[in-house]
């Protein structure tokens, strides 16, 4: 897959990199617009609240994953998936199934940067606990390889389930609404805890045995240094192009960029389409909304919907599509904050009271910076 990646000065083609990492030139480091210095996370101090029993031996993790067997579990191996920073393997540890992420050194990423991401993820996961966030069981750093251990999410990633990988059945409309709602809940918790995820995407939303959504992959997450300000600047632009808000591409770190990425995830949930496809008229899914909204184009919301699911109604789909479009507003202050998505209860209402929402007229009032949802 190839993505167009944007630097402040350059536009360059990056191939195969799932998640982009761009360091802008030194001259950008003293940006006049810098609001807050990005604090690179440090390895946790000895006094951190990490539990002493958390570390595992690398040799133990190697053993339980069959020496990090790269074949898929259906072929007798243990490889569950791969992201921009690591490969994840299945194993059995202390009477439970686990997933072990082994961080891979990346060509254009020095080991110390990878270590920063490793400590970022374990620091975040040792502090933040929520039903819709993946949990961490431990880590290993006793040899040169860095590993993180999680409970196994038996239904894999939302990306894989939408693509029906390995012959999995299509997700139903109800399951999709619950997954969207769970993801919004997890994000609300993250944002209320003054964290910005920075890589919200369907590959980073995992599904447990009951299809409960768990946000994962906290390597790029940043805690805001100043809890009264929600925006930070960075010279290291990271994220996944197909999900990135305009301000994220300029190096801003704000919870509103997570809301934008959540909007792309909603479009994936509705359509079942991948976030980026070179063979599509609009390569990025986020741009397909212009085709749907343009009366001269033939594409309707109905055409856009995933044909692999049956149990949906156009009025409900239109409500979620409209929410997605609000999240995808180019101007970040016009997007709802995730709390509004939650307190608007759009997703919950669709699930809880099907008939009431069917006959209700949902009216969106976009008042200056605020999205208000009024039910008549």
Ligand X SMILES: Nc1ncnc2c1ncn2[C@@H]1O[C@H](COP(=O)(O)OP(=O)(O)O)[C@@H](O)[C@H]1O
| Binding-site residue ranges for ATP | 102
What sign results for the dihedral spanned by CA atoms 53, 58, 59, 64? positive
Selection from Mg ion, ligand X, none that 277 binds (CB < 5 to 8 A by kind) is none
Q: Among all chains, which residue has been given the structure tokens 């609404």?
A: 177
Site for ligand X contains 156 (CB under 6 A)? yes
Site for ligand X contains 20 (CB under 6 A)? no
**Whose CA is closest to 124, among 221, 251, 263?**
221
Determine whether 9 is an active site residue.
no
- CA dist., res. 102 & res. 89, Å (int): 8
Site for ligand X contains 118 (CB under 6 A)? no
Which residues are CB-neighbours of 64 under 8 A, at least 6 positions away?
91, 92, 93, 98, 100
- CB-nearer residue toward ligand X: 18 or 291: 18
Site for Mg ion contains 83 (CB under 5 A)? yes
- DSSP state, residue 202: G
Selection from ligand X, Mg ion, none that 219 binds (CB < 5 to 8 A by kind) is ligand X
Site for ligand X contains 219 (CB under 6 A)? yes
- CA dist., res. 192 & res. 215, Å (int): 15
Q: Which parts of 132-263 are beta strand (E)?
A: 138-140, 147-151, 195-196, 205-207, 213-215, 222-223, 232-233, 236-239, 252-253
Catalytic member of 70, 107, 199, 293? 199
Region 180-209 residues binding Mg ion, contact defined as CB under 5 A: 204
Is residue 61 within 8 Å of residue 149, measured between CB atoms? Answer: yes
- CB-nearer residue toward ligand X: 114 or 317: 114
- Residues 62-101, one symbol each (x = binds ligand X by CB under 6 A, - = not), give ------------------xxxxxxx-x----------x-x
Least distance to ligand X from the beta carbon of 21, Å? Answer: 12
Region 244-273 residues binding ligand X, contact defined as CB under 6 A: none
Q: Which residue is nearest to ligand X (CB)?
A: 83
Give 248-251's long-range contacts (Cβ < 8 A, gap of 24+).
248/198, 249/6, 250/8, 251/8, 251/24, 251/28, 251/31
Is residue 371 within 8 Å of residue 336, measured between CB atoms? Answer: yes
Q: Which residues are annotated as a binding site?
A: 102
For 136-151, give the DSSP string: --EEE-SSSS-EEEEE
Least distance to Mg ion from the beta carbon of 193, Å? Answer: 20
- CB-nearer residue toward ligand X: 79 or 332: 79
- CB-nearer residue toward ligand X: 14 or 360: 14
- Which residues form the catalytic set? 199
Instruction: Kindly list the residues in this chain that would bind Mg ion in the complex (CB under 5 A).
Output: 83, 204, 217
Q: Which residues bind ligand X (CB under 6 A)?
A: 80-86, 88, 99, 101, 134, 150, 152-153, 156-157, 160, 203-204, 206, 216-217, 219
């Amino acid at each position: 897959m190839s993505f167009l990646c944007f630097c402040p000065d350059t536009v360059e083609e990056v191939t195969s990199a799932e998640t982009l990492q761009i360091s802008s030139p030194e001259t950008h480091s003293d940006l006049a617009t810098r609001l807050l210095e990005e604090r690179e996370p440090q390895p946790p101090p000895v006094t951190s609240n990490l539990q002493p029993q958390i570390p595992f031996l690398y040799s133990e993790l190697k053993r339980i994953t069959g020496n990090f067997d790269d074949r898929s579990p259906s072929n007798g191996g243990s490889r569950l998936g791969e992201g921009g920073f690591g490969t994840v393997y299945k194993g059995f540890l202390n009477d439970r199934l686990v997933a072990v992420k082994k961080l891979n050194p990346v060509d254009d990423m020095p080991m110390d940067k990878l270590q920063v991401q490793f400590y970022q993820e374990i620091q975040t996961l040792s502090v933040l606990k929520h039903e819709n966030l993946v949990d961490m069981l431990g880590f290993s750093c006793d040899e040169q390889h860095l590993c993180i251990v999680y409970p196994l999410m038996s239904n894999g990633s939302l990306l894989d389930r939408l693509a029906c990988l390995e012959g999995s059945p299509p997700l139903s409309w109800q399951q999709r609404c619950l997954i969207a709602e769970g993801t919004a809940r997890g994000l609300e918790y993250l944002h209320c805890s003054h964290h910005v995820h920075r890589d919200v995407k369907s590959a980073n939303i995992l599904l447990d045995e009951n299809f409960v959504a768990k946000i994962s992959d906290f390597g790029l997450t940043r805690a805001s240094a100043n809890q009264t300000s929600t925006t930070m600047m960075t010279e290291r632009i990271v994220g996944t192009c197909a999900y990135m808000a305009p301000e994220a591409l300029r190096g801003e770190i704000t919870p509103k960029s997570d809301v934008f990425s959540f909007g792309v995830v909603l479009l994936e949930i509705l359509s079942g389409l991948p976030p980026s496809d070179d063979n599509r008229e609009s390569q990025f899914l986020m741009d397909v909304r212009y085709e749907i909204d343009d009366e001269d184009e033939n594409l309707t919301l109905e055409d856009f919907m995933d044909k692999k699911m049956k149990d949906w109604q156009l009025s409900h789909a239109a409500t979620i599509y409209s929410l997605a479009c609000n999240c995808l507003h180019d101007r970040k202050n016009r997007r709802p904050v995730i709390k509004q998505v939650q307190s608007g209860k759009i997703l919950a209402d669709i699930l809880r009271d099907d008939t009431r929402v069917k006959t209700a007229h949902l009216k969106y009032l976009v008042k200056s910076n605020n999205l208000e949802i009024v039910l008549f």
